Amino acid sequence: MALQGMTRMQSVAARWETAKPMVIALAIGLVAGPIISSYMGWQVTAGTARTETRDSVVEQLAQICDQRARADVADPSKLDWDARSALAKKWVVEPGLPFKGLEVTGACAQKLAV
């Protein structure tokens, strides 16, 4: 019985020695994988997602403002910056819109310059 216990113990030790490099590689991968993928930009963090969402909403609102302002003024690209900014402020303000501030106004004024 003792001989069989030693054989079993040696078998477990041999299996551990075989599996040990794979276990160590798995542990390193579990720690290093997320760090490397985040550093390389392969993960989208919550802050990045919020920024991209906000930028796309601002872009869409600026396009709406641009179309409305162009319906009001034939060629807004001939206006100076202050006049384009005032025109953008006129058309950007709508009740219920979340981004009434400078972001949409500036983006709209830049679109009117083209």
Q: What is the pLDDT of residue 99?
A: 58
- Write the CA distances from 109 to 2, 74, 76, 104, integer angstroms: 87, 15, 9, 8
- Please state the domain extents for the chain: 1-43, 46-112
Q: What is the pLDDT of residue 39?
A: 87
Question: Which two three-digit tokens encode residue 86?
Answer: 């005032």
pLDDT tens series, the chain, 114 aa: 455 656 877 888 889 999 999 999 999 999 999 999 888 888 888 888 899 998 998 899 899 999 999 998 888 889 898 999 899 888 886 666 665 567 888 999 999 998
Q: What is the pLDDT of residue 26?
A: 96
Q: What is the pLDDT of residue 114?
A: 85
Question: Which two three-digit tokens encode residue 96?
Answer: 């219920």
